[in-house]
């Protein structure tokens, strides 16, 4: 059932993993080795909902384990690692069976698992287990982390089937034309939100809804060759009928079969995954280094001592003796790797463990291409940073501390520096939790003078629990920052962490001012809105505070390092695509499921909506949008039919009233004109919801309270509101049966009558101009629906085959997915009845009528409803563009009549004792309300069926309508680990840009790209070159010990830089302007800096950033001079 507990918990993850996620609950996974990487992998698998996770480790937990194994408490030291970790992991997700195993990994024991993960196991153990798993068809993964390097290996057997190898949904486009030829050329219409090429060479596609060249509709999937951004070559169409109009071309994803070599063979001839060819020699050197390390351990019975040159040289000799290197061995890489291989770093463990967990999820869900077959990762550049490069064996020797694994890499003095750090973490969501966990393990702010502040305005929600590991079900509704800070203290009681529940923005500058930011050593951003990110970047830029900005969307993530004055500032984020479409498209020419939903999304643009940070990856929208646009009253015809309140029709008749007939109050954007497009059904559905259940209630309540508010509105808007109020009063139900009848009339007006009227006005054969069909290209000719309260499985099958084709229908039930207990990928079996029930319940709620959940009773009522036959209106004018509708004249006479009639009706209602005040209950759309989503999904899919658009399932509709960003624990854990590697460099005070890295991660392809940030831009001003980080700093204390006057500031600039200033400003306040008259200039020069600001109404500040224009400079130029920062006494 939609909205079940599982769906609510895993919804963000389901959007990433697709239909294969249903296999997780039945999977059994063994994780062997419960140090850092194993703990991270196991935690991710438990949070993801894997059915059974078995922990294996034969070693005892040590004090040093607590710097990278976050599941262990102080009391667990000395206990078996697997047993000590079991309870903490079980608490992460009560729905997962977590057990511990401390014996040997016998073949009988291994045979019960679908996936086996070995972390930090000896090579002999890896080979033995790998051979067995390969022979038995068990997916086998090796994950290892040593110091600043990591290793990952996958063997998924000789025949591993991948159901869906790619991210996102298959693309779909409206056909504009198909030529007759060999090959035939398909011209398609790109969607408004598409970027680059929709299709790739070799993609398989099917066709549906094509008129004329109908032979294509029944074809098997055919490969395409891309000609350009809107044309494809397909097979021979020379014998087909001429293309007439319409149709969709849809990408088909077929399962792929891949074969993998066993570990024993893959060691000698490794296939290594790299982001760029330049990385391959380094990865091959690491491949040899890891094997040499195993040989060293076998020879010496231990790992190389930290920073011991003799041990590093021995590892190098062993690597050279292996003879498996295809490229010259990078000796510096091997030495550096060996010199810190005894170290254990939480960030590296997080990265390696997260990548291993993602490969496990691929093995279970058959979603995304698995790693083929090796991946190597390192951050050895950290060792070349000034300070780290000079460390000795003594500096890195163990101290009996929990941080010994980190000391082995960076030394004891560095650990003390970590403890003194002052950091701000903004956001305690998925990335924020991982950052805080890493900081606790690293010992950041765990020493004298240290301070870690975390701020987040949100509270813990159920959907957070599958990827935000600091929270449990008992924490739901509690402040995230408070719960997260308490979890940090449990992990490391020495961390000095403070929780805030504030937004970091202009309103909180008194709390998070310049002094606050300047005392920080760094800021870690885990924000999910572009606006908040841009503000935080501007504050850090102004205060010269390092910023690490992280973000994810699904399996993709990145980390950007902004290090003053070393790197380029992050800069303003690009304007994100808002997911909205032109109203003319939504009204008349919908072609995708996005359009039927998008109307509602456009309405929501008025509200603050969370957007994926700076990735902003586009994703498809389903048919819901148009439904909401229509209901929001944005798709009403320009003329009302007979039967309106102003006619003589009886209100008791089951006849479409103007409210139902037109689809919304006149004046709203929509109506029959909306029907001209197959615009996104999901957008349309969102507006439908708002126009039926929110706006009418708000307007009628306000009208009953104060009818004079209409006088403040433009005439067109006032008429629209009056008609909404009229419709609400006309349709007031007395009981549940009235609500069902209203829903039935409304269904008829939306999905039959409005479409029938449209086709009467613009019939299928209508021509835009002589010889040019009107219904062609991106205009899909719709068809009316016939209501059937009993439309069950046969309607579902008919819809599937009609729109996807017989071949794709066969794949539909496999490729499209279903969450446990949720509706399937296809439209609900009885979409018509689902719409009626959802609409009637919402209508009842809005009118304060008790609802009823009896489906059979509703069907009985529906069978008794008799509607008059549809009679088209003649001469109806339908605007084809937004401009035409905007120019439509206002009927002032009708406005006056409605105002008078409604004032009289208001008096009658106000005098009635039976009327409840407020008269109606506005219903605001909530994505987590199942009834709301039932309506949106049904309305959208019905609209989609009108226009031959493939439907969207319940969860897909929820993602699009709710603007939910797909998320998964593996990506967030890996991204947080990458960010913390940059923290190490900041703590060293690194000022060399070559050591910093911006990271881009794509777990669906197992790709990790780390590149050097760009240097800061420079410019010339006043005869010298300036960096974008440069600023002029002035302690604005005058000769009298008081705050400087404007004249004194002008004199300082003249004396220090030789600049004659003609204009001095603070934001938009002019402090001095040489073009004013002499008296005004004298007054300006004599004023103290803060006096002028006080006169301008600005809040008092102790630090001012001033801008200026000098002689010979164009006052219109922007950002051409370094800012002047004045510190007031």
Give the residue numbers marked as catalytic: 584
Dist CA 1011 CA 982 (whole Å):
12
Neighbours of 308 (CB within 10 A): 17
Chain-centre distance for alpha carbon 537: 20
Residue with tokens 């919402």: 842
Residue with tokens 């490729």: 815
Dist CA 1005 CA 790 (whole Å):
45
**Cβ neighbours for 509, distance < 8 A, ≥ 6 positions apart:** none
What the block records as the tokens of 1006 is: 């197992």
Q: CA torsion angle for 36, 37, 38, 42 (degrees, to 10)? A: 110
Dist CA 980 CA 698 (whole Å):
49
Whose CA is closest to 84, among 98, 67, 97, 95?
98
Whose CA is closest to 739, among 838, 643, 867, 632?
838
Dist CA 874 CA 5 (whole Å):
52
What the block records as the tokens of 66 is: 């607590």
What the block records as the tokens of 1079 is: 């008296």
Angle between helices 892-910 and 695-705 (to 10 degrees): 70
DSSP state string for 1027-1063 = ETT--EEEE-B-TTSSBPBHHHHHHHHHHHH---EEE
- At 97, is the secondary structure helix, strand, or coil? strand
Dist CA 553 CA 1001 (whole Å):
10
Dist CA 451 CA 498 (whole Å):
8
Task: Report whether 944 contacts 623 (CB < 8 A).
Answer: yes
Chain-centre distance for alpha carbon 677: 28
Whose CA is closest to 120, among 212, 58, 37?
37
Q: How many angstroms separate the Cα of 725 from the Cα of each of 539, 692, 695, 1063?
A: 47, 11, 9, 56
Q: CA torsion angle for 933, 938, 940, 942 (degrees, to 10)? A: 180
Whose CA is closest to 465, among 1040, 952, 13?
13
Provide the sign of the torsion angle of the four alpha carbons 767, 771, 776, 780, taken in this order: positive
Q: φ and ψ at 462, to 5 degrees?
A: -55, -40
Pairing state between β 52-56 and 97-101: parallel
Pairing state between β 1007-1011 and 1018-1021: unpaired
Provide the sign of the torsion angle of the four alpha carbons 180, 185, 189, 191, taken in this order: positive
What would you report as the CA-atom Rg of the chain, rounded to the nearest whole angstrom? 33
Whose CA is closest to 994, among 977, 1007, 1010, 978?
1010
- At 982, is the secondary structure helix, strand, or coil? helix
Residue 160: strand pairing partners? 258
Dist CA 721 CA 668 (whole Å):
9
Dist CA 265 CA 286 (whole Å):
18
Dist CA 1083 CA 965 (whole Å):
55
What the block records as the tokens of 758 is: 């449209």
First-last CA distance in the chain: 65
- At 413, is the secondary structure helix, strand, or coil? helix
């Amino acid at each position: 059932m939609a909205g079940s507990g599982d769906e609510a918990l895993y919804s963000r993850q389901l959007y990433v993993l697709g239909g294969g996620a249903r296999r997780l609950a039945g999977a059994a996974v063994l994780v062997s080795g419960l140090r850092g990487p194993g703990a991270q992998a196991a935690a991710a698998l438990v949070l993801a909902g894997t059915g059974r996770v078995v922990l294996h480790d034969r070693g005892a937990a040590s004090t040093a384990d607590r710097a990278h194994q976050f599941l262990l408490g102080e009391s667990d030291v000395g206990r078996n690692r697997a047993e000590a970790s079991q309870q903490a992991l079980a608490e992460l997700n009560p729905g997962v069976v977590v057990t511990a195993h401390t014996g040997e990994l016998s073949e009988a024991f291994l045979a019960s698992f679908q996936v086996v993960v070995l972390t930090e196991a000896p090579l002999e153990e890896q080979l033995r287990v790998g051979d067995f798993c390969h022979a038995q068809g068990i997916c086998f993964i090796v994950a290892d982390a040593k110091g600043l390097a990591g290793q990952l290996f996958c063997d998924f057997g000789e025949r591993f089937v991948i159901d869906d190898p790619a991210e996102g949904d298959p693309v779909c486009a409206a056909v504009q034309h198909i030529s007759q030829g060999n090959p035939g050329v398909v011209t398609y219409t790109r969607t408004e939100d598409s970027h680059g090429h929709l299709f790739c060479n070799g993609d398989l596609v099917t066709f549906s809804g094509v008129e004329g060249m109908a032979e294509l509709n029944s074809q098997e999937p055919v490969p395409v060759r891309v000609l350009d951004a809107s044309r494809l070559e397909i097979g021979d169409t020379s014998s087909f009928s001429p293309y007439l109009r319409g149709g969709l071309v849809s990408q088909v994803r077929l399962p792929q079969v891949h074969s993998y070599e066993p570990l024993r063979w893959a060691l000698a001839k490794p296939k290594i995954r790299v982001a760029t060819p330049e990385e391959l020699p380094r990865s091959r050197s690491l491949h040899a280094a890891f094997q040499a390390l195993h040989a060293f351990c076998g020879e010496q019975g231990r790992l190389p001592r930290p920073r011991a040159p003799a041990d590093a040289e021995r590892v190098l000799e062993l690597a050279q003796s292996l003879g498996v290197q295809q490229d010259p061995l990078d000796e510096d890489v091997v030495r550096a790797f060996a010199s810190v291989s005894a170290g254990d770093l939480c960030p590296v463990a997080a990265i390696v463990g997260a990548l291993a967990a993602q490969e496990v999820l691929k093995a279970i869900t058959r979603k995304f291409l698995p790693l083929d077959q090796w991946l190597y990762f390192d951050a050895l550049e950290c060792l070349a940073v000034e300070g780290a490069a000079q460390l000795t064996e003594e500096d890195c020797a163990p101290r009996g501390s929990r941080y010994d694994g980190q000391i082995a890499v960076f030394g004891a003095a560095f650990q003390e520096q970590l403890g003194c750090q002052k950091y701000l973490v903004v956001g305690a969501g998925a990335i924020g939790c991982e950052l805080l966990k890493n900081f606790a393990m690293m010992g950041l702010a765990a020493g004298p003078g240290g301070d870690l502040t975390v701020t987040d305005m949100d509270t813990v929600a159920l959907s957070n629990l599958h990827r935000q590991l600091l929270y449990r079900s008992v924490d739901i509704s509690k402040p995230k920052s408070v719960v997260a800070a308490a979890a940090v203290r449990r992990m490391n009681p020495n961390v000095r962490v403070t929780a805030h529940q504030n937004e970091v923005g202009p309103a909180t500058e008194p709390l998070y001012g310049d002094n606050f930011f300047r005392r920080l050593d760094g800021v870690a951003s885990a924000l999910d809105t572009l606006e908040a990110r841009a503000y935080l970047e501007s504050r850090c830029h102004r205060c010269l505070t390092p910023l690490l900005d992280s973000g994810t969307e699904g399996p993709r993530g990145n980390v950007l390092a902004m290090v003053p004055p070393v790197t380029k500032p992050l800069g303003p984020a690009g304007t994100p695509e808002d997911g909205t479409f032109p109203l003319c498209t939504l009204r008349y020419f919908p072609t995708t499921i996005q359009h039927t939903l998008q109307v509602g999304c456009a309405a929501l643009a008025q509200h603050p909506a969370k957007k994926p940070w700076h990735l902003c990856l586009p994703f498809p929208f389903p048919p819901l949008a148009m439904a909401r646009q229509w209901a929001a009253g944005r798709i009403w015809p320009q003329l009302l039919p007979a039967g309106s309140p102003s006619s003589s029709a009886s209100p008791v008749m089951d006849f479409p009233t103007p409210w139902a007939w037109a689809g919304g109050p006149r004046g709203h954007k929509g109506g029959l004109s909306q029907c001209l497009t197959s615009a996104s059904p999901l957008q349309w559905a969102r507006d439908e919801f708002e126009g039926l259940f929110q706006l009418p209630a708000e307007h009628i309540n306000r009208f009953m309270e104060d009818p004079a508010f209409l006088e403040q509105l433009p005439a067109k808007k006032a008429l629209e509101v009056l008609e909404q109020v009229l419709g609400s009063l006309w349709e007031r139900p007395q009981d549940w049966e009235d609500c069902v009848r209203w829903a039935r009339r409304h269904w008829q007006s939306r999905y039959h009558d409005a479409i029938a009227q449209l086709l009467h006005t613009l019939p299928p054969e209508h021509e835009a101009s002589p010889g040019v069909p009107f219904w062609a290209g991106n205009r899909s000719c719709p068809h009316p629906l016939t209501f059937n309260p009993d439309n069950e499985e046969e309607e579902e099958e008919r819809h599937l085959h009609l729109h996807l084709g017989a071949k794709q229908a066969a794949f539909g039930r496999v490729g499209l997915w279903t969450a446990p207990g949720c509706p399937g990928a296809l439209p609900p079996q009885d979409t018509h009845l689902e719409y009626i029930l959802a609409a009637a319940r919402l209508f009842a709620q809005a009118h304060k009528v008790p609802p009823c959940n009896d489906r059979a009773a509703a069907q009985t009522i529906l069978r008794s409803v008799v509607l008059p036959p549809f009679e088209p209106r003649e001469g109806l004018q339908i605007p084809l563009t937004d401009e035409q509708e905007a120019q439509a004249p206002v009927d002032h006479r009708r406005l006056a009549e409605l105002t008078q009639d409604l004032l009289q009706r208001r008096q009658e209602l106000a005098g009635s004792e039976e009327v409840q005040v407020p008269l109606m209950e506005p219903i605001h759309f909530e994505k987590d309300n199942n009834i709301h989503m039932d309506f949106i999904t049904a309305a959208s899919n019905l609209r989609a069926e009108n226009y031959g658009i493939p439907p969207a399932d319940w969860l897909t509709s929820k993602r699009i309508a709710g603007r939910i960003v797909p998320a998964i624990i593996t990506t967030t854990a890996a991204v947080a680990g990458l960010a913390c590697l940059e923290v190490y460099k900041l703590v060293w005070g690194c000022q060399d840009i070559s050591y910093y890295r911006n990271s881009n991660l794509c777990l669906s392809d197992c790709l990790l790209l780390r590149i050097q940030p760009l240097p800061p831009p420079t410019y010339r001003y006043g005869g010298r070159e300036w960096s974008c980080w440069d600023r002029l700093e002035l302690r604005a204390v005058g000769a009298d010990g008081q705050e400087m006057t404007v004249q004194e500031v002008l004199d300082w600039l003249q004396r220090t830089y030789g600049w004659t200033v003609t204009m001095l400003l603070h934001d938009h306040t002019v402090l001095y302007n040489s073009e004013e008259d002499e008296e005004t200039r004298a007054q300006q020069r004599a004023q103290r800096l803060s006096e002028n600001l006080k006169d301008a109404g600005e809040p008092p500040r102790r630090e001012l950033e001033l801008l200026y224009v000098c002689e010979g400079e164009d006052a219109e130029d922007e950002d051409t001079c370094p800012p002047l920062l004045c510190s007031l006494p």
